[in-house]
Amino acid sequence: MTYTPNDNLTFRRLTSEWNQLCRSRKASGALAEWRAAEPALAGVASMADLLDHRDTADSEAANHVLEALLRIGDELATRAFVQAMLPGLVALTRYGLVKGFVGPGRTWREPSELNAELLARVWIWTGRYRGNPPEWPAAALKCHLIHVLRREADRNDQEEARFVPFDPTSHDRLGDQGVERGGIDGAMQIVCEAVEAGLLPLGYAQLLFARRIRRDPYKVISQRTGRSVDCLKQECRRAERSLARAVAA
């Protein structure tokens, strides 16, 4: 199967949302406050004009705008920063495709999964630097994301040979009490032991319990946690790898 960089539905949804935000009264009022607080934003006439200062611009003025958005750090300013970074995220998806990070058996099976990973990492990064942006934040963020992509891809290469899918019935420790019931109880015991031993993060254990033991659909977990289905699928595979390592240990 051939993968192309056209599967950017997550990014398109963000752009559609942004276009609506730009026309809102809340956005107009916020921009007026931003202009008063940040000289770099004094010449920005509307929310839509913020996209003239995308991360692809190398000018110092554009950099000051992005720094100002992070320095303001409220929800809308952070959202504006992320929107300005979208062209760079699309480029990083293409980078992942060129490097072979996406595809069957890879860390990200489809471009949409890589998009979701990038966005999740962006929100974590912006949360870390809200109110205190680094110099040239667009460049700093892109370097961080490239490092993450390479690290996760290398980890996938190292773990692929050892990967064992999580199968509750394969860990039955309860003998004649019934394969299905024993498999579920045995799997829960192994998960609990792995958490207690510090070999499996609690969040991974909760996801494995919901998806692999209780068999909750991804859509149900997504509604409950507020996380996208793509992110949940990706995290579930990582949880399975972590549990396989814990079992081997």
Helix (H, G, I), strand (E, B) or coil at 93: helix
Q: What is the pLDDT of residue 153?
A: 78
Among 91, 104, 98, 107, residue whose Cα is nearest residue 152: 107
* Contact (Cβ atoms closer than 8 angstroms) between residue 184 and residue 168: yes
In the block, residue with structure tokens 């320095």: 71
Quick one: tokens of 12?
């398109």
Distance CA 244, CA 144 (A): 28
pTM for this prediction: 0.62
DSSP 176: G
* CA end-to-end span of the chain: 36
* pLDDT tens profile 40-66: 998 888 888 888 766 555 578 888 899
CA distances (Å), origin 84, targets 30, 53, 124: 17, 7, 16
Give 73's pLDDT tier (boundaries 50, 70, 90): very high
Whether 101 has a pLDDT exceeding 60, the answer reads yes
What single letter denotes the amino acid at residue 238? Answer: R
